[in-house]
Amino acid sequence: MKQYETVIGLEVHLQLSTQTKIFCGCSTEFGKDPNSQTCPICLGLPGTLPVLNKKVLESAIKIGLALNCKINSLVKFDRKNYYYPDLPKAYQISQYDFPIAHTGYLNVKTGDETKKLGITRAHMEEDAGKLIHDPAIKSSLVDYNRTGTPLVEIVSEPDMRSPQEAYDYLTTLKLHMQYLDVSDCDMEKGSLRCDANVSIREEGQTKLGTKAELKNLNSFKAVKSALEFEVARQIKLAESGERIVQETRLWDESKQITISMRSKEEAHDYRYFPEPDLVPFMVEKEDIKNVRTTLPESPSKKQDRFIKNYKLSTYDVDVLVQDRKISDFFEECVKEYNQPKKICNWIIGPLLQEINSNEKGISNDRLSGINLVAPTAKTFTDLIIKVEDGTISNLVGKSVLTSMLDRGKTSAEIIKEQNLAQVSDEGALEEIVATVIAENSKIVEQIKSGKESAIGFLVGQSMKKTQGKANPKKIGEMIKRRILND
Amino acid sequence: MISKKDVQYISHLSRIYTDDHEAEALAKNLEGILTYIEKLKKLDIKNVKPTSHVLPLKNVFRDDILKESLGQKNATKIAVKSEKGSFKVPQVIE
């Protein structure tokens, strides 16, 4: 049997998180009433002139630099012409021959190796509107709120050799973009969208095979599944001697297959020409230098630094660095209380658990999720210190954290309010120990006959009776003493 | 050479209906334009600076500041048909 090599390239569309659209002052906010955020410019009415949003160019330069690209000093826009109801002007303002950034790379950890995956180009363009198809009324409804939302399209080289590599590229790219704070990168909201080009070729070949372009990939998992399906489909065709045709295929999430979308083929003649309504832009070396100084530390650099400076495990660091705000928060906490490993455990354990159960998925700003009051480094480390010095038990500490996040109070306030301070005083615990021993005679017998591990059960019962306030270590000692010395 | 077929292809892409007679006439017109462009290409432009825009302007920006939108009602007022605050168009399902 022949061996096949998979060749994948990805096109990622990133919605920039600007206040306003790329060429007009309409809001880009997601989820508003249809067409409520439109104006003559984004509706493409005659006689209007687009004017470039400065922040879009800055964000695009940031993205280019973060992807190790060369930045074009001449920036111009072009018209991409096609007819579709989601495009009111019947052309999309995009960039054709002078993209803002080109020829870069992204280092991607995949399996045990780090691969340097090429970036062909990144360019600015405007988003199209949203179509809702309603077969019942034999019509489509168009919402132009999204029309004119700034996009940066990032095109990779066909450098990926497996669906897993494509997946790793995508998650790494997302992380880097989130660090730049240029997009919220939320696939569910469509602020990060991905099309995949995939082909196969016999092992050893250098010529590219005939590719299929996969669309409708609405999650990271869908990208991987669709690619896996498509690679298998193409190999099957090749094995049976059939020809693979170049086409666009749609991923059908419910059936987990790709379906040919033949009708769009002729639409590939976009007749690009320079956009006369926008004057050219010159990006000076000085401008690039200025943007470069605003670039945050990249996630991979941060990873290395955390391992070196805080002596944390690769796993710990991976989790912390997955979210820029969380990793910044970690560092603020370490400044307050120099116990990196303890802080890390509290963050990647209880804190992230709370955040994740309150919010769906990973957003760019998990610390200030809608239902939670973000702790400050001071309040968070205060809590950890209270657990460390025995003021409260570990268990109570976790529930105090929940209250802190729910209600925005400090740990001291909550401990006082709910009378949660850990009880270590033997006198105060005496009665509890006596009751628990009296109520569990069977267990006590087991302990007496040598099964000391059963003490843990009695400690648990005592903790329950004190709503977790008892010092478990103390209780354990007392129970052991009482039973074994009896 | 611009053929009638070329014209018909472009008119389809542009969603402009042309009948047989018009397509033939347009083919001739476009041919004339292209011939003229061929002539321009022969000009000596050694001393002409390349330009991507006719206006002597560059770097015209706006700041990322919100402006009032038309609003749903005003926006859909210009629609031939509208429904639920949206523009209603013939079905375009793939």
Q: Does residue A32 have a pLDDT over 70?
A: yes
Q: What pTM does this model have?
A: 0.83
The answer to whether A10 touches A117, Cβ cutoff 8 Å, is: no
Sorted by where each begins, the domain ranges of chain B are 1-43
pLDDT score at A360: 39
How far A36 CA lies from chain B's nearest CA (Å)? 4
**DSSP label of A128:** -
The answer to whether A63 touches A122, Cβ cutoff 8 Å, is: yes
3-class DSSP state of A95:
coil
Instruction: Please indicate whether, in this complex, the C-beta atoms of A264 and B94 are within 8 angstroms of each other.
Output: yes
pLDDT: which is higher, A330 or A355: A330
Band of pLDDT at residue A410, cut at 50, 70 and 90 = confident
Check whether residue A97 and residue A209 sit in a common domain: yes
Check whether residue A355 and residue A469 sit in a common domain: no
| Token pair in block for residue A466 | 């004190």
B53 contact residues in A (CB cutoff 8 A): 76, 274, 276, 279-280
B69 contact residues in A (CB cutoff 8 A): 26-27, 36-39
Identify the closest residue of chain B to A43 by CA–CA distance: B75
Band of pLDDT at residue A366, cut at 50, 70 and 90 = low
Q: Does residue A169 have a pLDDT over 60?
A: yes
pLDDT score at A362: 36
Check whether residue A371 and residue A437 sit in a common domain: no
Mean pLDDT of A265-288: 86
**d(Cα A323, Cα A362) in Å, to the nearest integer?**
8
pLDDT tens readout for residues A209-238: 999 999 989 999 999 999 999 999 999 999
The answer to whether B85 touches B72, Cβ cutoff 8 Å, is: yes
Identify the closest residue of chain B to A29 by CA–CA distance: B66
pLDDT score at A367: 55
Band of pLDDT at residue B38, cut at 50, 70 and 90 = very high
- For residue A247, give the nearest of A234, A230, A228, A262 by alpha carbon: A262
A53 contact residues in B (CB cutoff 8 A): 61-64
Half-sphere exposure of A229 toward its Cβ, with a 13 Å CA cutoff? 20
Q: Does residue A129 have a pLDDT over 60?
A: yes
Last residue of a domain, one of A260, A286, A312: A286
Q: Does residue B15 have a pLDDT over 50?
A: yes
The answer to whether A270 touches A82, Cβ cutoff 8 Å, is: yes
**d(Cα A9, Cα B21) in Å, to the nearest integer?**
46
Identify the closest residue of chain B to A17 by CA–CA distance: B64
Band of pLDDT at residue A262, cut at 50, 70 and 90 = low
Last residue of a domain, one of A391, A417, A443: A417
Identify the closest residue of chain B to A137 by CA–CA distance: B91
Q: Does residue A201 have a pLDDT over 60?
A: yes
Note the ipTM here.
0.88
Band of pLDDT at residue A359, cut at 50, 70 and 90 = low
pLDDT score at A389: 86
Q: Does residue A101 have a pLDDT over 60?
A: yes
- For residue B69, give the nearest of A50, A125, A126, A35 by alpha carbon: A35
Instruction: Please indicate whether, in this complex, the C-beta atoms of A85 and B93 are within 8 angstroms of each other.
Output: no
Identify the closest residue of chain A to B87 by CA–CA distance: A142
Interface of B with A in 21-50 (CB under 8 A): none
Instruction: Please indicate whether, in this complex, the C-beta atoms of B64 and A18 are within 8 angstroms of each other.
Output: yes
A159, A345, A399, A405, A417 from A414: Cα distances, Å = 54, 22, 10, 11, 5
User: Dihedral sign, CA of A84, A89, A93, A96?
Assistant: positive
pLDDT score at A110: 92
B86 in A contact zone (CB under 8 Å): yes
Q: Does residue A370 have a pLDDT over 70?
A: no
Instruction: Please indicate whether, in this complex, the C-beta atoms of A141 and B84 are within 8 angstroms of each other.
Output: yes
Instruction: Please indicate whether, in this complex, the C-beta atoms of A25 and B65 are within 8 angstroms of each other.
Output: yes
Percent of chain A residues topping a pLDDT of 70:
95
Instruction: Please indicate whether, in this complex, the C-beta atoms of A25 and B62 are within 8 angstroms of each other.
Output: yes
Please report the DSSP string for A194-223 in residue order.
Answer: EEEEEEEEETT--S----EEEEEE-SHHHH
Strand blocks (E) in A27-98: 52-53, 70-71, 74-75, 78-81, 91-94
Identify the closest residue of chain B to A273 by CA–CA distance: B52
A7, A155, A243 from A209: Cα distances, Å = 8, 19, 11
A236 within domain boundaries: yes
Q: What is the CATH number of the domain that holds A476?
A: 1.10.10.410
- For residue A156, give the nearest of A200, A102, A204 by alpha carbon: A102
Q: How many CB atoms lie within 10 A of CB A202?
A: 12
Mean pLDDT of A231-254: 92
Lowest-confidence range among A212-216, A294-298, A364-368, B25-29? A364-368
Band of pLDDT at residue B1, cut at 50, 70 and 90 = confident
pLDDT score at A407: 79
Q: Which CATH architecture has domain B1-43?
A: Orthogonal Bundle (1.10)
Instruction: Spell out the residues 6+ positions from residue A462 whose beta carbon is closer than 8 angstroms to its own.
Output: A429, A432, A433, A436, A470, A472, A475, A479
Instruction: Spell out the residues 6+ positions from residue A340 whose beta carbon is closer than 8 angstroms to its own.
Output: A310, A311, A312, A330, A334
Mean pLDDT of A85-108: 96
Q: What is the mean pLDDT of chain A?
A: 90
pLDDT score at A199: 96
- For residue A68, give the nearest of A102, A115, A97 by alpha carbon: A102
pLDDT tens readout for residues B45-88: 999 887 777 888 889 999 999 999 999 999 999 999 999 999 99
- For residue B74, give the nearest of A131, A36, A26, A23 by alpha carbon: A36
Check whether residue A50 and residue A189 sit in a common domain: yes
Mean pLDDT of A338-366: 77
pLDDT score at B28: 94
**d(Cα A260, Cα A188) in Å, to the nearest integer?**
24
pLDDT score at A486: 63
Last residue of a domain, one of A417, A442, A470: A417
Phi-psi region of A155 (alpha: psi -120 to 50; beta: other; left: phi over 0): beta
**DSSP label of A376:** P
Identify the closest residue of chain A to B56 by CA–CA distance: A279
User: B88 - beta bridge partners?
Assistant: A141
A291 within domain boundaries: no
User: B82 - beta bridge partners?
Assistant: B87
Mean pLDDT of A134-159: 93
A19 contact residues in B (CB cutoff 8 A): 64-66
Instruction: Please indicate whether, in this complex, the C-beta atoms of B64 and A53 are within 8 angstroms of each other.
Output: yes
Q: How many CB atoms lie within 10 A of CB A282?
A: 11
pLDDT score at A396: 85
Q: Determine the residue among A17, A77, A141, A271 to mutate to test chain B binding: the one whose Cβ has the most chain B Cβ atoms within 10 Å.
A: A141
A292 within domain boundaries: no
How far B38 CA lies from chain A's nearest CA (Å)? 18
The answer to whether A123 touches A80, Cβ cutoff 8 Å, is: no
How far B84 CA lies from chain A's nearest CA (Å)? 8
Check whether residue A184 and residue A270 sit in a common domain: yes
Check whether residue A71 and residue A179 sit in a common domain: yes
pLDDT score at A21: 98
pLDDT score at A364: 39
pLDDT score at A361: 37
| Token pair in block for residue B32 | 């004339």
**d(Cα A11, Cα A418) in Å, to the nearest integer?**
54
Q: Does residue A363 have a pLDDT over 50?
A: no
Percent of chain B residues topping a pLDDT of 70:
98
pLDDT score at A180: 95
pLDDT score at A311: 93
Identify the closest residue of chain A to B68 by CA–CA distance: A26
User: Per the structure, how many domains does chain A have?
Assistant: 3
Question: Out of B63, B65, B86, whose CB is closest to A142?
Answer: B86
How far A27 CA lies from chain B's nearest CA (Å)? 6
User: A123 - beta bridge partners?
Assistant: A153
A322, A360, A365, A368 from A170: Cα distances, Å = 13, 20, 19, 25
pLDDT score at A97: 93
Check whether residue A161 and residue A250 sit in a common domain: yes
How far A87 CA lies from chain B's nearest CA (Å)? 12
Question: Out of A40, A82, A141, whose CB is closest to B88?
Answer: A141
B89 in A contact zone (CB under 8 Å): yes
Q: Domain limits at A463?
A: 426-484
**d(Cα B29, Cα B8) in Å, to the nearest integer?**
14
| Token pair in block for residue A156 | 């990779």
Check whether residue A184 and residue A305 sit in a common domain: no
Instruction: Please indicate whether, in this complex, the C-beta atoms of B61 and A57 are within 8 angstroms of each other.
Output: yes
Amino acid at A445: E
